[in-house]
Structure 1
Amino acid sequence: MTLSAPRTDLANDKADARSSFLVLISWYGAVVVTFGLFLGTLSDSVPADCGEVCDSERSDMLMFGLYVALPAMFLALLVSLVTLAVLISRTRIHSSALVGTLSAVLPLVMCGLLTTSL
């Protein structure tokens, strides 16, 4: 019976930080693209009886995105980056996709709940 060589890579048996970061950024990019596609479905016409006082649906949602959703996404990104650092340093999860997704999902869900409740 032959013995196999001892494994020396057990200390590096974690998810790759760069790949996990790219997965995290991809989730945020998907949210931004989805918001842009949603803006494309909204009407750009202003109701005739409002005059110059009213804005279009698209303009209202763009202002909401700029003043509410963008700061919320920034805070969610900061929380995600901290979560990513903790998951990479303190867990033994091998999958970079799983680590990136876990670090992005909870802050994005909280960001979505916060912005829809306003």
Structure 2
Amino acid sequence: MNAVQIEQLLKLDPSVYLHFTDSLGFHSIQQEGLIRTNTKGFVFLTRMPFSAEQATVNLFISASTHTGRGSHVFVLRLDPGLRIIPTSQNYEGYEYRATQSIKLKQNEVLYAGENPFRRR
């Protein structure tokens, strides 16, 4: 699946979300089959196809603790029973969170790999 196909899916299917991560996180998620919540109990998601650089700025606020976290992405069609809520700072309508870990086998992984999106 390429960037254009993913962008089309995002336009057509409201149950498709993206989870950006870095190489280490990507391999850990693949190995465990699970996107774990952070220390606050959330998995952050978006519906915006950001390049790695855009993800760093827009999602990770250029924090040095999050360097590289836009390099890899999971494109998921999430189970309708999974609760997804907008973040309180969702001004641009692009940041969401799941309130539990996401098991890959309970959702449809449409793409998993290096970030295919390029800055526009």
Please, what TM-score do these two structures have when normalized by structure 2? Answer: 0.18
Q: Larger relative contact order (C-alpha < 8 A, sep ≥ 6)?
A: 1
**Greater fraction strand:** 2
**Greater fraction helix:** 1
Q: Which has the larger radius of gyration?
A: 1
